[in-house]
Copies of this chain bind each other. A is one copy, B any other.
Amino acid sequence: MSTRSADRGDGIRVAVSTVILTLRREGTAAPRIALPLVRRTRDPHEDAWALPGGWLDPTEGLTAAAARTLAETTGLAPSWLEQLYAFGAVDRSPSRVISVVYWALLREEDAVDAVGSDPENVAWFDAEQLPALAFDHARIIEYALWRLRNKVGYSRVAQGFLPPEFTLADLREAYETILGRRLDPANFRRQVDATRTLIPTNAFRTGSHRPARLYRDATDVELADRGPLSPEETSTEETRIP
């Protein structure tokens, strides 16, 4: 088709990066969204903070590369992983780099003391108080957060922050953190059970006051997570790993 530059399409490198999101709670305050960043050890942007990622290995699928760098950074497997966007402006890096960016969710309790292969250069930041970032990564994170806020309205993503069994208050708190506003507990309850995506268990969380019933995900219910089947590897492209 193209008749340019010897029809080869090289001279371009492909990187895969991932915006890894989790919920962090400090004491009894409302939880906040946190994400790990990696300090760069070479130019360009040496010493600046950047998204975890790396060059794509020719034998590795895009999603696999995202999962791998995620594991290297945090030592964990995500509960949600989805492609965000391919960034490829000519001037976003000194050399020509296409970054295929994914976003992922981690379960809160998993992330607490997770350690990757290079803990020295990894640090977690509050998503609202980020340091100066390398390349166009600040904008990428903004976009990932927008996508999360958007998707929470018509999918079960929020459960990616929670353990397999959780109370409605847990789920509501996750929604409230993502959306940045309070939700009415009564209406929230009715709305989620109208979707028929939660199965009540016979267990309760006891503690401070009246015990709260625990729920688990109804994995068989199809929701608008994507609509058509995943465009790439159907098994791993965009899934909630239970």
Contacts and interface: CB of A to CB of B under 8 A. Distances in A.
A94 interface: no
Contact of A4 (B10, B55, B140): B55
B69 A88 contact: no
Secondary structure call for the A interface = mixed
A168 B58 CA distance: 51
**What is the size category of the interface that chain A forms with chain B?**
35 or more
Given A10-B13, A12-B14, A62-B98, A231 B5 contact: no
A187 to B, nearest CB: 22
* Identical copies in the complex: 2
A158 interface: no
A97 to B, nearest CB: 8
B1 A90 contact: no
A7 interface: yes
A9 B89 contact: no
A78 interface: no
Contacts of A53: 1-2
